[in-house]
């Protein structure tokens, strides 16, 4: 999901007002809940004309971990509140417009495998990760999303034990949702509308349920990816048949619905999520007792930590040792586009798995091109006339770059009827809508052509007519063929599911990527996971395309985005939490990052879909490997105080009012992070890291370095000796420019490398990114 700044602040006569969040930091724990709300009300009363106006303006009073409130304020009132001593910050709520950023994915990452006889013998000695973690039982994962379809078999509680005693949450009732919809799997559910309705008026209940129920599909998909039960014999419109399962199938789910339809837009355009609603959800989740938060929501442009509601909420969660995983976003392939860059958040990119939905296109000259689709519709076994969309538009449509985009109303039925139409991605319509336009104009089939920016990323969409998606390279071949003959012909062969596709994984072209624009000395994203063409449960209140023109209802659907990869990592976190209940959130993040993989299933470095080299600004530390992460050997631990000192150093007023910044604080490079980024190095810098032994009691680790091109890297000491579990050892990393005066192509040019610790069993690897001043 992606969100953007609120574009249309509400207006009152002569005074412009909008929702602001007034943030005080952390609660002292000395006030009762009603006293906290009275305390917040007193601040509003000091700037409002009357008590009634103060009460009416208050949307949320954050009473649990987060200390603050959300209220409708004028600029003058904001100024007065900002000047008050106990107020840490006052910032406008950002309007969050998001684009929705698994039968196979868990097997692909090594969590579930079909074991041969020798492997079974070996597994008797060493239980696999799922068994060690008791399949995530007793771990509670909070899903901050757009609800859930509780009737899905993925959320059955059959055979599950009692609800964890640590759970303190509720099952909030609403339209088409009551207490019976919660069970020992879905142990809680809430919804948050005050911010949304303050900006848009009452919810249009024809577009969504006024309850935790999901009428879109996104929230159900992400929740089942994390912790869906094992459901046999499922598929999406006949594709990807098999057993669907979440990564932690016995973990418990708590649903926090914060995202709602965009007023005046079709459901396929996505949802919108308001910051004040999300902060209320995170505050409740902390008090409810969740162990993990999965948040597939992000900005199209990140904000500083002091004005970023997700970052503030996640910091409070981290203080309570809750691990927060967030999607990096789908705004690629441009650099510096990622969201959720706070170092206390696990920021997740998206990559492929080894499954394809091959739907060949055969041209009249015999050429066969391998496209992808999950449409169930089929053409007759014959050739059909083929036309390029730009050659089949109605009179008046400009013959420019958008003519081939199949925008609504652009195609001429006289030129399209009975033909297969090649449309290009982009323009005013989404992928599904292009096929709908072809069908409206009488086309019998549809080819979705990638642009060069999309490369070889082939979305497997459930189109409403026979269709296939092809690469930009294949688009060129098709167009050349059309130009070469007076009667171009083609046919689309019905698709099929293919496993063990190679190479895999590859990085999706749509992912948002680094470098980090909020702090260029923190490398983001942290890691990548499966996010391309992922099958999971779906809302039966929606259609597989989410289009109002699509009458189909499905129980499972295939979807893509960092929204899909984030819950994969959240599931791995849940398993690690179960195995290592005393590990900090930072230790769990470190274990995932330092054990991530860098090679694909043909033994070569991970590339993008076009085969081009990739780097840590796309995949972070690499593709996550949950089984490796359970035994990382060493971890880089970080405390809540370390994060506050880090904020002091980068000039952010402390987000905890009880903490006072020292006169001198450690540089942001010295935050004990499992990766290293150095921006604009002048000559030489030395940073410190501290490794904690979580492997064998007595162990010796040797360092090795792959220096970024143009730099030398030295690690001292080069050997670390440990004699007990939990022992900490610090080391220095000195990075020096070989030629500080070397010319650069641009100010954002980075070189990449690695430093690694190895004891013969564990390989603890950290990525580096360095640029010259």
HEC assignment per residue over 73-92: ECHHHHHHHHCCCCCCEEEE
Band of the pLDDT at 101, cuts 50, 70, 90? very low
Helices (DSSP H) in 247-334: which residue ranges?
Answer: 275-288, 309-319
Residue 562 and residue 699 in one domain: no
> What pLDDT sits at residue 122?
42
Closest CA to 751 of 717, 709, 715, 703: 709
Closest CA to 751 of 648, 676, 641, 667: 676
Helices (DSSP H) in 291-450: which residue ranges?
Answer: 309-319, 413-416, 431-440
In a domain, 665, yes or no: no
In a domain, 516, yes or no: yes
Sheet with 711-716, strands from edge to edge, namely 634-635, 684-693, 728-737, 711-716
Least confidently predicted of 75-84, 146-155, 277-286, 447-456? 447-456
Residue 457 and residue 538 in one domain: no
Structure tokens at 128: 């696999």
Residue 266 and residue 312 in one domain: yes
The model's pLDDT over 57-68, given as tens digits with 9 standing for 90+, comes to: 999 999 999 999
In a domain, 633, yes or no: no
Band of the pLDDT at 126, cuts 50, 70, 90? very low
The model's pLDDT over 29-67, given as tens digits with 9 standing for 90+, comes to: 778 888 999 999 999 999 999 999 999 999 999 999 999
Is 80 exceeded by the pLDDT of residue 11?
Answer: no
Residue 361 and residue 345 in one domain: no
- Residue 343, classified by CB atoms within 10 Å of its CB into exposed (0-12), middle (13-18) or buried (19+), is buried
Measure the N-to-C terminal CA separation of the chain; round to a whole number of Å. 34
Q: Which residues contact 411 (CB under 8 A, 6 or more apart)?
A: 389, 392, 393, 394, 421, 437, 438, 440, 441, 443
Using an 8 Å Cβ cutoff, are 456 and 355 in contact? no
Band of the pLDDT at 267, cuts 50, 70, 90? confident
Domain boundary among 463, 498, 533: 498
Residue 250 and residue 178 in one domain: yes
**Mean pLDDT, the chain, integer:** 92
Is 80 exceeded by the pLDDT of residue 245?
Answer: yes
Q: Which of 124-138, 324-338, 423-437, 591-605 has the highest mean pLDDT?
A: 591-605
Half-sphere exposure of 579 (CA within 13 A, CB side): 26
Measured between alpha carbons, how far is residue 725 from residues 83, 580, 584 in Å?
49, 13, 15
> Dihedral through CA 274, CA 275, CA 277, CA 278, nearest 10?
120
> What pLDDT sits at residue 103?
53
The share of the chain scoring above pLDDT 70, in percent, equals 94
The average pLDDT across 658-677 equals 93
In CATH, what number is assigned to the domain containing residue 397? 3.50.30.30
In CATH, what number is assigned to the domain containing residue 40? 3.30.70.80
Is 50 exceeded by the pLDDT of residue 659?
Answer: yes
Is 70 exceeded by the pLDDT of residue 97?
Answer: no
- Give φ, ψ of 679 to 5 degrees: -100, 130
Structure tokens at 509: 């072209």
DSSP SS3 for 599: strand
Using an 8 Å Cβ cutoff, are 22 and 86 in contact? no
CB atoms within 10 A of CB 210: 17
Is 60 exceeded by the pLDDT of residue 517?
Answer: yes
Distance CA 481, CA 449 (A): 14
Is 80 exceeded by the pLDDT of residue 419?
Answer: yes
> What pLDDT sits at residue 742?
64
In CATH, what number is assigned to the domain containing residue 701? 2.60.40.2310
Helices (DSSP H) in 401-471: which residue ranges?
Answer: 413-416, 431-440
In a domain, 191, yes or no: yes
Distance CA 490, CA 369 (A): 11
Is 80 exceeded by the pLDDT of residue 343?
Answer: yes
Domain boundary among 456, 471, 498: 498
Is 80 exceeded by the pLDDT of residue 10?
Answer: no
Residue 265 and residue 202 in one domain: yes
- Residue 579, classified by CB atoms within 10 Å of its CB into exposed (0-12), middle (13-18) or buried (19+), is middle
Distance CA 382, CA 495 (A): 16
Distance CA 670, CA 642 (A): 10
Distance CA 258, CA 191 (A): 6
613 DSSP 8-state letter: B
Residue 697 and residue 594 in one domain: no
Give the DSSP letter string of 140-199. EEEEEES-B-TTSGGG--TT--PPPTT----B--BTTB-GGG--SSEEEEEE--HHHHHH
Q: What angle do CA 248, 584, 642 make, to 5 degrees?
A: 140
Structure tokens at 135: 């399949």
Question: For residue 171, what are the β-bridge partners?
Answer: 189
306 DSSP 8-state letter: G
714 DSSP 8-state letter: E
Distance CA 577, CA 138 (A): 10
Is 90 exceeded by the pLDDT of residue 356?
Answer: yes
The average pLDDT across 460-468 equals 96
Least confidently predicted of 102-106, 557-561, 768-772? 102-106
> What pLDDT sits at residue 300?
76
Half-sphere exposure of 497 (CA within 13 A, CB side): 18
Structure tokens at 230: 């094992």
Band of the pLDDT at 303, cuts 50, 70, 90? confident
Band of the pLDDT at 120, cuts 50, 70, 90? very low
Residue 215 and residue 310 in one domain: yes
Using an 8 Å Cβ cutoff, are 101 and 567 in contact? no
The average pLDDT across 278-293 equals 98
Instruction: Report whether the peptide linkage leading into residue 454 is cis, meaning its omega lies within 30 degrees of zero.
Output: no
In a domain, 330, yes or no: yes
Catalytically active residues are 145, 218, 563
Band of the pLDDT at 2, cuts 50, 70, 90? very low
Question: 5 or 249: which carries more pLDDT confidence?
Answer: 249
Domain boundary among 498, 530, 565: 498
Closest CA to 278 of 267, 293, 263, 292: 293
Least confidently predicted of 113-117, 376-380, 569-573, 749-753? 113-117
Residue 159 and residue 202 in one domain: yes
Half-sphere exposure of 756 (CA within 13 A, CB side): 17
Is 90 exceeded by the pLDDT of residue 482?
Answer: yes
> What pLDDT sits at residue 741?
67
In a domain, 520, yes or no: yes
> What pLDDT sits at residue 27?
84
The model's pLDDT over 562-621, given as tens digits with 9 standing for 90+, comes to: 999 999 999 999 999 999 999 999 999 999 999 999 999 999 999 999 899 999 999 999
Residue 325 and residue 398 in one domain: no
> What pLDDT sits at residue 398?
85
Residue 148 and residue 255 in one domain: yes
Closest CA to 20 of 257, 279, 272: 279
In a domain, 119, yes or no: no
| Residue bearing tokens 């390029």 | 388
Give the DSSP letter string of 94-116. PEEEE----TTHHHHTTSS----
The whole domain housing 342 covers 129-350+505-625
In CATH, what number is assigned to the domain containing residue 297? 3.40.50.200
Using an 8 Å Cβ cutoff, are 698 and 722 in contact? yes
Band of the pLDDT at 82, cuts 50, 70, 90? very high
Question: 126 or 205: which carries more pLDDT confidence?
Answer: 205
The share of the chain scoring above pLDDT 90, in percent, equals 81
36 DSSP 8-state letter: H
Using an 8 Å Cβ cutoff, are 231 and 239 in contact? no
Q: Report the domain count for the chain.
A: 4
Measured between alpha carbons, how far is residue 34 from residues 27, 63, 486 in Å?
13, 9, 78
In a domain, 106, yes or no: no
> What pLDDT sits at residue 31?
85
Residue 136 and residue 66 in one domain: no
The model's pLDDT over 198-227, given as tens digits with 9 standing for 90+, comes to: 999 999 999 999 999 999 999 999 999 999
Distance CA 468, CA 510 (A): 19
């Amino acid at each position: 999901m992606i969100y953007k700044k609120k574009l249309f602040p509400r207006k009152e006569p002569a005074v412009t007002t909008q929702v602001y969040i007034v943030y005080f930091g952390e609660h002292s724990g000395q006030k009762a809940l009603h006293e906290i709300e009275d305390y917040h009300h007193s601040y509003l009363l000091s700037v409002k004309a009357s008590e009634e106006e103060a009460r009416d303006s208050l949307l949320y009073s954050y009473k649990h971990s987060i200390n603050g409130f959300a209220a409708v304020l004028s600029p003058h009132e904001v100024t007065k509140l900002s000047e008050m001593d106990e107020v840490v910050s006052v910032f406008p709520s950002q309007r969050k417009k998001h684009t929705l950023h698994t039968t196979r994915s868990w097997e692909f990452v090594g969590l579930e495998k079909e074991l041969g006889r020798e492997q079974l013998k070996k597994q008797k000695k060493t239980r696999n990760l799922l068994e060690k973690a008791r399949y995530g039982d007793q771990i509670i994962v909070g899903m901050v999303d757009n609800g859930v379809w509780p009737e899905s078999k993925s959320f059955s509680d059959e055979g599950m034990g009692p609800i964890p005693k640590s759970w303190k949450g509720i099952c909030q009732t609403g339209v088409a949702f009551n207490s019976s919809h919660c069970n020992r799997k879905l142990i809680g559910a809430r919804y948050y509308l005050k911010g949304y309705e303050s900006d848009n008026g009452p919810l249009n209940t024809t577009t969504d349920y006024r309850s935790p129920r999901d009428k879109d599909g996104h929230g159900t998909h992400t929740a089942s990816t994390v912790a869906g039960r094992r459901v046999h014999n499922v598929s999406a419109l006949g594709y990807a048949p098999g057993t669907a399962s979440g990564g932690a199938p016995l973990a418990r789910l708590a649903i926090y619905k914060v995202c709602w339809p965009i007023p005046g837009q079709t459901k396929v355009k996505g949802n919108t999520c308001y910051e004040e609603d999300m902060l209320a959800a995170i505050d409740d989740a902390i008090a409810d007792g969740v162990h993990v938060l999965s948040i597939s929501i992000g900005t199209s442009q990140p904000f500083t930590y002091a004005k970023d509601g997700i970052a503030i909420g996640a910091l409070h969660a981290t203080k309570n040792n809750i691990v927060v995983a967030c999607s990096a976003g789908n705004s690629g392939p441009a650099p510096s586009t990622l969201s959720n860059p706070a170092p206390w958040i696990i920021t997740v990119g998206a990559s492929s798995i080894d499954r394809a939905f091959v739907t060949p296109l055969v041209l009249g000259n015999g050429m066969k091109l391998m496209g992808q689709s999950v449409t169930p519709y089929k053409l007759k076994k014959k050739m059909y006339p083929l036309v390029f969309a730009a050659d089949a538009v109605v009179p008046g449509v400009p013959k420019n770059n958008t003519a081939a985009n199949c925008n609504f109303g652009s195609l001429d039925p006289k030129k399209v009827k009975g033909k297969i139409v090649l449309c290009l991605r982009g323009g005013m319509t989404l992928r599904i809508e292009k096929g709908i336009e072809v069908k409206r104009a009488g086309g019998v089939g549809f080819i979705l052509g990638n642009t060069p920016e999309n490369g070889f990323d082939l979305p497997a969409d459930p189109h409403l007519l026979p269709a296939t998606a092809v690469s930009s390279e294949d688009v060129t071949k098709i167009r050349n063929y059309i130009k070469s003959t007076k009667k171009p012909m083609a046919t689309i062969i019905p698709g099929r599911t293919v496993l063990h596709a190679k190479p895999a994984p590859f990085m999706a072209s749509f992912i948002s990527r680094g470098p980090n624009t909020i702090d260029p000395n923190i490398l983001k994203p942290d890691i990548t996971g499966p996010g391309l063409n992922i099958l999971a449960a779906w809302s039966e209140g929606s259609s597989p395309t989410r289009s109002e023109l699509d009458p189909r209802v499905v129980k499972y659907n295939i979807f893509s985005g960092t929204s899909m990869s984030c819950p994969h990592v959240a599931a791995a976190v849940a398993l690690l939490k179960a195995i290592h209940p005393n590990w900090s959130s930072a230790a769990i993040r470190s274990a995932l990052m330092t054990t991530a993989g860098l090679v694909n299933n043909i033994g070569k470095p991970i590339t993008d879909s076009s085969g081009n080299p990739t780097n840590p600004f796309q995949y972070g530390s690499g593709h996550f490997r949950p089984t490796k992460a359970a035994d990382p050997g060493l971890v880089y631990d970080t405390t809540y105080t370390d994060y506050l000192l880090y904020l002091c150093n980068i000039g952010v007023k402390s987000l905890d009012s009880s903490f006072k910044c020292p006169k001198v604080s450690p540089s942001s490079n010295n935050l004990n992070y499992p990766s290293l980024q150095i921006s604009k190095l002048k000559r030489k810098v030395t940073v410190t890291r501290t490794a904690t032994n979580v492997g064998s009691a007595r162990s010796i680790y040797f360092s090795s370095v792959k220096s970024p091109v143009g730099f030398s890297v030295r690690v001292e000491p080069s050997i670390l000796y440990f004699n007990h579990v939990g022992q900490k050892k610090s080391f220095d990393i000195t990075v020096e420019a070989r030629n500080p005066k070397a010319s650069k192509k641009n100010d954002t040019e980075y070189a990449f490398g690695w430093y690694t610790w190895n004891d013969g069993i564990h390989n603890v690897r950290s990525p580096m990114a360095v640029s010259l001043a």
